Amino acid sequence: MLFIWCGEVIMVKFIVVDDDSKEIEHVCTLIHEVTDDAKILKFSKITDELKKEIQNVDEHKVYILDIQLANKISGITIAKLIREVDWVSEIIFITNHDKMFESAYRNVYAVFSFIEKFHDFDRRFKKDIRAILKRNFDNKMFKYNANNVELNLFYRAILYITRDTEERKLVIVTPTNKYKITMTIKEVMDLLDKRFVQCHRSCIVNKDHVEEKNYKEGYFVLDNGEKVYLLSKMNKKLMENE
């Protein structure tokens, strides 16, 4: 069975974790004041459902975490679990005590902000949410499941796709791996977005990763330094159409 999915930009999901139900509702109210169509999940502690949500990296999320929870698992511990699998979603810490500021930043990578509950909280929180929503979230994914091969790749991670003539498969090249799939160039092109162009009869490239194009010699150079000799003059208009 073949399953191929071409994803659109996914709505940002908010995950609110606080052991005070009133604080959760207050935070949710503030989020809805900033955006009408917010999708919000609420948790008072770490649960299997929350763990499952953390492991799902197909969506871009904003985590709002109370640092001090009424159990042994703190907001900092939850943030560490998030960063084990997800370095993209945003983390906002909220707390009653500014003394936790240093601990949070020292233990968790890439915290968006730290807000004290009783220090101009509403204004600061909504300002941060607006700033996050203005960012260009690029969550489009290529998902493929066939012949015991299952892939879930962000578009932004794909450098180029080329044909393996010996195995008659396509090879998706990322900065760290190469994946073989049973599809044609046309089938894949029909699924991808405008950042991808067919630069050769046997190659699709992600223009966002191209730093140099040499049509005379027939190659392009990627932002990781790789030189690929699969550039055709016939496709010059596509490559130059930004």
The confidence score (pLDDT) of residue 165 equals 84
Instruction: Write out the two tokens for 5.
Output: 């999915």
pLDDT (0 to 100) of residue 7: 46
Is the same domain home to 99 and 181? no
| Any domain includes 203 | yes
Residue 53 backbone class (left: φ over 0; alpha: ψ -120 to 50; beta: rest): alpha
Q: Find the domain containing 227 and state its range.
A: 155-240
> How many domains does the chain divide into?
2
Asked if residues 169 and 180 have their Cβ atoms less than 8 Å apart, the reply is yes
How does pLDDT run across 96-144, given as a tens digit for each residue?
876 666 666 666 777 888 898 888 899 999 999 998 887 756 767 888 8
DSSP 120: S
Is 173 a residue whose pLDDT tops 50? yes
Query: Where is 168: in which H helix or E strand?
Result: none
User: Could you tell me if residue 140 is inside a domain?
Assistant: no
122 and 44 housed in the same domain: yes
The β-bridge partners of 146 are 149
Q: Bigger pLDDT: 240 or 197? A: 197
Q: Are residues 177 and 92 located together in one domain of the fold?
A: no
202 and 113 share one domain: no
Beta-bridged to residue 113, according to DSSP, are 92
Residue 18 confidence (pLDDT) above 90: yes
| Sheet containing 90-95, strands listed edge to edge, beginning at the edge strand earlier in sequence | 39-43, 13-17, 61-66, 90-95, 113-116
The CATH number that applies at residue 178 is: 2.40.50.1020
Q: Indicate the burial class of 161 (C-beta count within 10 angstroms; 0-12, 13-18, 19 or more).
A: buried
Select from 42, 81, 77, 40 the least CA-distant residue to 61: 40
Q: Are 182 and 110 in a shared domain?
A: no
Same domain, 124 and 164: no
- One-character DSSP codes across 206-234: EGGGEEEEETTTTEEEETTS-EE----GG
Shared-domain flag, residues 71 and 103? yes
| Position 167 pLDDT exceeds 90 | no
CATH number for the domain harbouring residue 9: 3.40.50.2300
